[in-house]
Amino acid sequence: MLQTMALLKRLYLSPLGYVVSAALNLLSVAHRPFMVYGFYNQATRKFHLMTRISSTVAIMGRRRLDLGDNVWVWHHSILDASNGLKIGRGSQIGAWVGIFTHSSHIAIRLLGDRYLRLDPSQRTGYQRGSVEIGEYTFIGASSLVLPGVTIGRGCVVAAGSVVTRSVPD
């Protein structure tokens, strides 16, 4: 083990180590998340020039996603619009946020192995519902918004929150 470490140290400090380090740094730049400016809203058929969404955001059900203008969605977030998701203009969604319009975690625990064999209408505990986030609302990093929730205009959701019920303006 010590010999391996000594060899790696010598390699790292050699001219070849500089080349390897430079190549890895260049690759990391290409892999970094970046903000994509502009969003075509399929729900309203409008292009929002000032809306910014990270290149790492996962969007499910894009046709049911209604984003307002000047919305910011930061890195590594999940927007599940399969049952309808509306985010009002000027809102900010932090990094690592999950906004969900369906959830099967309760149904899977209740039904076990039978879950996949049952018709979706018979899956006890399966939750679905649209989510609406009002204008100029801030959702802090690592927060979760669960199905059927409405968050009012100008609200601030603290980082790491789990929103299970609607919040008024």
86 and 142, same domain (yes or no): yes
- What's the pLDDT tens digit per position in 105-157? 777 777 777 777 778 777 777 788 999 999 999 999 999 999 999 999 999 99
Q: Is the pLDDT of residue 23 over 90?
A: no
In angstroms and rounded to an integer, the radius of gyration of the C-alpha atoms of the chain is 22
11 and 72, same domain (yes or no): no
Whole-number pLDDT of residue 12: 67
Parent domain of 66: 33-163
Residue 43 to residues 30, 64, 87: CA-CA distances in angstroms? 32, 6, 12
Let me know if residue 18 belongs to a domain: yes
Cα–Cα nearest to 101, from 119, 117, 80 = 80
Whole-number pLDDT of residue 115: 75
Cα–Cα nearest to 49, from 57, 38, 40 = 38
Q: Is the pLDDT of residue 11 over 80?
A: no
Q: pTM of this prediction?
A: 0.78
Q: In total, how many domains does the chain have?
A: 2
- What's the pLDDT tens digit per position in 29-85? 777 888 999 999 998 999 999 999 999 999 999 999 999 999 999 999 999 999 999
Report the alpha-carbon distance of residue 151 to residue 157 in Å, rounded.
Answer: 9
7 and 87, same domain (yes or no): no
Asked if residues 70 and 90 have their Cβ atoms less than 8 Å apart, the reply is: yes
- What's the pLDDT tens digit per position in 126-138? 788 999 999 999 9
